[in-house]
Structures are given as structure tokens and as C-alpha cells.
Amino acid sequence: MLRKDSVCAVCTKNRGLVHQSVLSPGQQFKQFFAKLFDTTDWPPRWHCGNWTDFHSWLYICSDLVIWASYFAIPVLLFSIILKRKKNIPFLRIFWLSSRLPYCAA
């Protein structure tokens, strides 16, 4: 359980950002793209709250399983296409379905 007093210092730091309503749209645009790939405001999950090692590794392993299945499904569809190329009714749909996860990611 996450206690209210267990928030880490990284989560509560004010990084000197001005509230978005004070900035003009052009300044908001510049600030957004200036910090687009900045990860300083995103601490690891187990630094905030009461995460156990098991809880952290459970999330990491589940994300890896989801990633592996995301890439395994198109590979399996591709192997089915190669094995039964002439017996598949709607071959183009299979090709599109096997490419969709890679293009959508």
C-alpha cells in the first residue's frame, strides 16, 4: 500500500517549471519539445511508495512477456503464411495482420 507520507523527494521536487496556464501557446510548444525526451521528472516506480523487490520485478517481467508476445504473434503468422501459402483464403489479410504490430508500434 502506498502511504501518503512515503512519496519520494524526486516526485515532490519542483523543477522550476512555470504552470502551463501562465505561458503563451508558443512558449508551451517550445517547452514541450525541449523536454520531450527528458526523463528527470520520471523517477523509477520503486523509488516512490513502498514497492518491494518482488513487486518491481513482477512489473518488469510482465512487461517483458507482453513485449515478447507482441513480437511473437506476427512471427507465427508469417510462418503460417510461408507453410500454407496456397491454401490460405485472404492471403493479403494475413500479410497485413502480420505487419500491423510492427507498424503500429
pLDDT digits (tens, 9 = 90+) for 19-34: 556 778 888 888 888 8
pLDDT at 35 over 70: yes
Question: Model pTM?
Answer: 0.50
Does 4 or 57 have the greater pLDDT score? Answer: 57
Residues contacting residue 70 through CB under 8 Å, at least 6 positions apart = 101, 105
Tell me, rounded to whole angstroms, the distance of Cα 71 from its chain centroid: 15
Q: What does residue 72 show for φ and ψ, rounded to 5 degrees?
A: -75, -35
- Amino acid identity of residue 49, one-letter, is G
pLDDT digits (tens, 9 = 90+) for 59-105: 899 999 998 988 888 888 888 778 877 777 777 777 777 777 777 76
- What is the structure's pLDDT at 63? 93
